[in-house]
Amino acid sequence: MKVDGKHFRSIWRERDGWSVGAIDQRQLPHEFVVARLVSCEDAVVAIRDMLVRGAPLIGATAAYGMALAMREDASDAGLKRAYDTLVVARPTAINLKWALDEMRAALAPIDPVERAEAAYARADEIVEQDVEINRGIAGNGLKLIETIAAKKKPGETVNVLTHCNAGWLATVDWGTATAPIYLAHERGIKIHVWVDETRPRNQGASLTAWELGHHGVPHTVIPDNTGGHLMQHGMVDLAIVGTDRVAANGDVCNKIGTYLKALAAHDNGVPFYVALPSPTIDFAVDDGIRDIPIEQRSGTEVTDMTGRTADGRLETVRIVPEGSPVANYAFDVTPARLVTGLITERGVLKPDRASLAEAFPERVAARSVP
Ligand SMILES: CSC[C@H]1O[C@H](OP(=O)(O)O)[C@H](O)[C@@H]1O
């Protein structure tokens, strides 16, 4: 999307034709830094250390990581090594494995001398497919926003709450949860976004607020615990969040705290939507709460905070007593019963197995391939 009028994507193949550019999201909102990935290991570190993050972007980065790996060693052993090191970079977003499976399917059958070129071509396709899918999510989600806007008095605003960052920074472009928001904004609908700061890494405060602000979308950053109060007082018309993995039964895995937002929405009759591209559906998982692996990250993400001092320096401070144990679960799973609908590129679906399978039969069939 736009950063002060200039169009950006979150990741791209550089003009040299082989290295990969990516916005270093660890530096936002304070500094806009572009990283250059030149090896498969760079891609592994970028995913693991969250230089790039967000399920679809993790997949895109892994796809280019595989292409970088094929430049290094296109043998069968090199292909296996690249797959095995990339696939464990982070455990929860299924898009990582989806993208690597797509790359392996394209590369394994062909002559190693052809693999590097074929890998970049397939990675480019995955990147462009993400953008097209998100445009589809935008159009399908827009209808929900338009329906709410039509019931408003002239000049009234549609208030959307979102959690974490499922914006263009979490994908290649447009985002998932934010895609309908950007499209509504561009169509002239008065829209405002309540942005959960999203402790402990503050993807909402640091990333969602940054991208909405630079695209000109009205928004307000709120502490994570505020959403329920706003819903009780009629200040939220709908919630739209992203997801890292949707189980076949419609359970939704997303950033920690999403489940609590869904409970508050259910209690207050606020529609709770989840936006996702079809690669985020994992038909191999029948029960999300039981089966989706929840990443636990370093406790320093909880004990420490980084910010800009009054004189412009970036500093990290500790906010938890030395010696206090810390738990840092990065995701939780919202049961399908709390989800109003799944906004996909093929429409807004009920969060259940039959609806997912009917909309994406090719992905159910893929599950049966070992
Ligand atoms: C469109 S996927 C966005 C999804 O990914 C985020 O997790 P992380 O920042 O740890 O990669 C969060 O769960 C977002 O909803």
Burial (CB < 10 A; 0-12, 13-18, 19+), residue 160, is buried
Collapsing DSSP states into helix, strand and coil, what is residue 262? helix
Q: Is residue 130 annotated as part of the catalytic site, yes or no?
A: no
Closest atom, ligand 1, to C-alpha of 255: 13
Name the closest-CA residue to atom 4, ligand 1: 54
**DSSP line for 134-179:** HHHHHHHHHHHHHHHHHTSPTT--EEEEE-S--SGGGSSSS-SSSH
Mean pLDDT for the stretch of residues 35-43: 98
Residues near ligand 1 (Cβ within 6 A):
53-56, 164, 166, 170-171, 176, 203, 241-242, 244, 254-255, 330
pLDDT for res 367: 66
Name the residue among 46, 98, 33, 175 with its Cα closest to residue 366.
98
- Which member of 244, 251, 282, 332 is catalytic? 244
pLDDT over 80 at 5, yes or no: no
Residue position matching structure tokens 């550019």: 21
Give the CA dihedral 199, 203, 207, 213, nearest 10 degrees.
Answer: -50
User: Is-cis flag, bond preceding 200, omega within 30?
Assistant: yes
What integer is the mean pLDDT of 52-78? Answer: 98
Among 10, 28, 53, 57, say which to mutate for ligand 1: greatest number of ligand atoms within 8 Å of CB.
53
pLDDT of residue 366: 66
Which residue CA neighbors atom 1 of ligand 1 most closely? 166
Give the ipTM.
0.98
Protein residue with least CA distance to atom 15, ligand 1: 242
Average confidence (pLDDT) over 154-175: 96
Atom of ligand 1 nearest to the CA of 55: 2
Q: What is the best residue among 52, 203, 281 to mutate for testing ligand 1's pocket, by most ligand atoms within 8 Å of CB?
A: 203
DSSP one-letter code for 295: P
Question: pLDDT digit string (tens) for 227-281?
Answer: 999 999 999 999 999 999 999 999 999 999 999 999 999 999 999 999 999 999 9
CB within 8 Å of 290: residues ≥ 6 apart = none
Could you tell me the two tokens for 58? 């993790």
Question: Residue 196's beta-bridge partner residues?
Answer: 222
- Whole-angstrom CA distances from 87 to 59, 142, 226, 241, 296 are 10, 34, 36, 25, 16
Quick one: which atom of ligand 1 is closest to the CA of 203?
Answer: 9
How many angstroms separate the Cα of 339 from the Cα of each of 37, 283, 333, 335? 38, 18, 11, 7
Looking at residue 355, its pLDDT comes to 97
256 CA distance to ligand 1 middle (Å): 10
pLDDT band at 368 (very low <50, low <70, confident <90, very high): very low
- Cα of 255 vs centre of ligand 1, distance in Å, is 6
Instruction: Determine contact, residues 119/106, Cβ cutoff 8 Å.
Output: yes
Cα separation, 252 vs 263, whole angstroms:
13
Asked if residue 369 has pLDDT above 60, the reply is no
